Structure 1
Amino acid sequence: MISMSPRNAGSNDARIIVEEQFRPVLPVMKWSDETDVINRANGTEFGLGASVWSKDMAQAERITKQLQAGNVWINSHAKIQTSTPFAGHKQSGLGVDMDIEGLKAYCNIQSVYTRLAGGAAQY
């Protein structure tokens, strides 16, 4: 188990806020209302993942629908399943991984039409 290290982010342009974090660090920021939270979360060029923490599930789901992130967790973070697609939005990620959608990225479709000698075309 890896534990998170909460950090006071300081300002909206702090590196911990504007860069993708590939380490167990949790920036803590003050916010004024739901719109402010959504604008801050979406105000970055990245969109790999986001988490929403709330006791109010209706609020969490409402916020989740507005986030520009390929993966959003409610009351958890970074838990993934191989049965669901994993993708980033904006400048995050290189396509879709996992699930059938991820496999499609490695496939090329080919249709073959054959006309048998002396017979009708088989389609």
Structure 2
Amino acid sequence: MNAHSMGNKQEELEAIVQQENYDIFAITETWWEDSHNWNAAIDGYQLFRRDRQGKRGGGVAPYVRGGFECLELNNMNDSVECLWVRIKGKANKADIMVGVCYRPLNQDVEANEIFYKQLAEVSR
């Protein structure tokens, strides 16, 4: 995808986000590389990203509205492409855990088991 078409997609995404006033949204299969740092940010949102290491495609990027206090959890295992963010609850509300995962069609059973283990750990 060239920079021009990526720019058009970003403009479209930003328009939708502003119109719908989302607190959280995410992109999967970002295909971003270091050269895409210039166009990944969206005003008013904190960007978390996990690019696919050593392979083409994949990648996940959750965005959280700037007013929320967030903490990205350490990646628990490189064989599963997930990014987990804990959003601090307001007042007496509980924290919210948000996970964005990319699952390749050919993901093996071992990777599935690792994902389920991660899901159990972050759900505590």
Q: Aligning the two structures, in what range does the TM-score lie when normalised by the shorter sequence?
A: 0.3 to 0.5
Higher helix share: 2
Q: Rg larger in 1 or in 2? A: 1
Q: Which has the higher contact order (CA 8 A, sep 6+)?
A: 2
